[in-house]
Structure 1
Amino acid sequence: MTRWGTPVMHRPQTLVTSYDEALASLAADMVATMYAADGVGLAACQIGEDVAMFVFDCPDESGQRTVGLVCNPVLTLPEGRDRVLDEAEEGCLSFPGAFVELARPDTATVTGTGLDGSPVTFSGDGMLARCLQHETDHTLGTVFGDRLPTKMRKRLQKQHDKLVDEYPPDWPA
Structure 2
Amino acid sequence: MIYPIVAYGDPVLKKVAVDIEKGSLDVKQLADDMFETMYESHGVGLAAPQIGKSIRMFVIDAEPLDEDKLKGFKKVFINPVIIEERGKEWAFEEGCLSIPGIRADIYRKETIKIRYFDTDWQEHTEEFDGYAARVIQHEYDHIQGILFTDYLSAMKKRLLKSKLTDISRGQVKAEYRMKFPIK
TM-score bracket, normalised by the shorter chain, equals 0.7 to 0.9
TM-score by length of 1: 0.84
Q: Pick from 66, 73, 90: which aligns with 2:80? A: 73
Structure 1 residues 7-26: Cα deviation after superposition (integer angstroms, max 9, x where no partner): 11111111011246622221
1:154 is displaced (CA, Å) by: 3.9
Mind listing any 5+ residue stretches in structure 2 that lack a counterpart?
none
Using the TM superposition, name which of 63-72 and 162-171 deviates more. 162-171
Q: Does 1:63 align with 2:47?
A: no
Structure 1 residue matching 2:78: 3-state secondary structure = strand
What is the CA RMSD across the aligned residues, in angstroms? 2.6
The equivalent of 1:89 in structure 2 is: 93
Mind listing any 5+ residue stretches in structure 1 that lack a counterpart?
none
Name the aligned partner's letter for residue 70 of structure 2: Q
The equivalent of 1:6 in structure 2 is: 10
CA contact (8 A) 1:75 1:111 kept: yes
Cα distance change of structure 1 residues 89 and 16 upon mapping to structure 2, 3 Å threshold? same
Name the aligned partner's letter for residue 64 of structure 1: L
Question: What fraction of aligned residue pairs are identical, expressed as a percent?
Answer: 31
TM-score by length of 2: 0.80
Structure 1 residues 3-61: Cα deviation after superposition (integer angstroms, max 9, x where no partner): 12111111111101124662222111111011111111000010001210000011476
Structure 1 residues 54-91: Cα deviation after superposition (integer angstroms, max 9, x where no partner): 00011476532311001111113344xxx201111011
The equivalent of 2:37 in structure 1 is: 33
Structure 1 residues 81-110: Cα deviation after superposition (integer angstroms, max 9, x where no partner): xx2011110111111121100111012222
Structure 2 residue matching 1:39: 3-state secondary structure = coil
Q: Does 1:43 align with 2:47?
A: yes
Aligned length: 169
Within 5 A, what are the aligned runs for 1:148-159? 148-157=152-161
